[in-house]
Amino acid sequence: MTKRPLLYALMLAFAVLPASAANLVKTYSYFSIGGRTLDDIGTQLTKRGPQVKSTGMRHPGATQMAFTTRVSYAEKSNSCRIADANVTVKVKVILPEWRRPRKADAGVRLFWNTLSADIKRHEDRHVEIAKNHARELEDALKATYPQKTCEVAKAKAAKITAAILAKHDRAQVQFDRIETINFESRMQRLLRYRMERIENGRLPG
């Protein structure tokens, strides 16, 4: 069931779009692809998938992210502290939708069902990474000590925000790196698992 050219073509294909949460606003959008064979599907994903600015390439799935941080300050005669902090991340997950031909081969259907589920899992994990770092940012801002002035407090908040968002970006890149390395073995394992479930009557063929 392994289609090596397609598998290798997809190994580098997963990506997260650059992030500019805590609170999460999440939406999904879909792009349609056709194709009767694995090669056809691979070609369609390459041509029609979302284009990611950081790589200049099209991908079978992507997640657009935007962080918004709102901070309020409480000022006294000789100090200023962060009174409250709220971080929201808006994400748009972009996924493929296969317009399956009537006579599509059962093996192709099996591969697509396995691949599409893995793409969605991958992108949802990007969302979780973002949300976890948004929580970390919110907690870090709320935990800051009072500063001499609100200008200093704002500078401190900006420094914390930049550091945690940079940490977030590194975590996203590391996740993609690990996923790329493990892609082929993961797909083979998932295909075997689905075939076993089909044979046991737990999934439709």
Whole-model pTM: value is 0.80
Beta bridge partners of 36: none
- Cα–Cα distance measured from residue 70 to residue 161, given in angstroms and rounded to the nearest whole number: 11
Is the CB of residue 100 less than 8 Å from the CB of residue 112?
Answer: yes
For Cα atoms 105, 110, 115, give the angle at the middle one, nearest 5 degrees. Answer: 125
Average pLDDT over the chain reads: 83
Dihedral sign computed on CA atoms, order 7, 8, 10, 14:
positive
Q: Are strands 57-58 and 80-98 parallel, antiparallel or unpaired?
A: unpaired
pLDDT at site 201: 60
Residue 163: CB atoms within 10 Å: 12
- 36-83 pLDDT tens trace: 888 888 888 888 888 777 677 788 889 999 999 999 999 998 999 999
Q: Flag whether pLDDT at 162 surpasses 80.
A: yes
Q: Which two tokens stand for residue 98?
A: 């296969």
Please give, one letter per residue, the 3-state secondary structure of 134-172: HHHHHHHHHCCCCECCHHHHHHHHHHHHHHHHHHHHHHH
For Cα atoms 127, 112, 125, give the angle at the middle one, nearest 5 degrees. Answer: 10
pLDDT at site 49: 82
pLDDT band at 91 (very low <50, low <70, confident <90, very high): very high
pLDDT at site 152: 96
Pick the more confident residue, 4 or 139: 139
Which residues have C-beta within 8 Å of that of residue 150, sequence separation ≥ 6? 73, 75, 80
pLDDT at site 104: 77
Strand arrangement of the beta sheet that strand 80-98 belongs to? 23-33, 80-98, 62-75
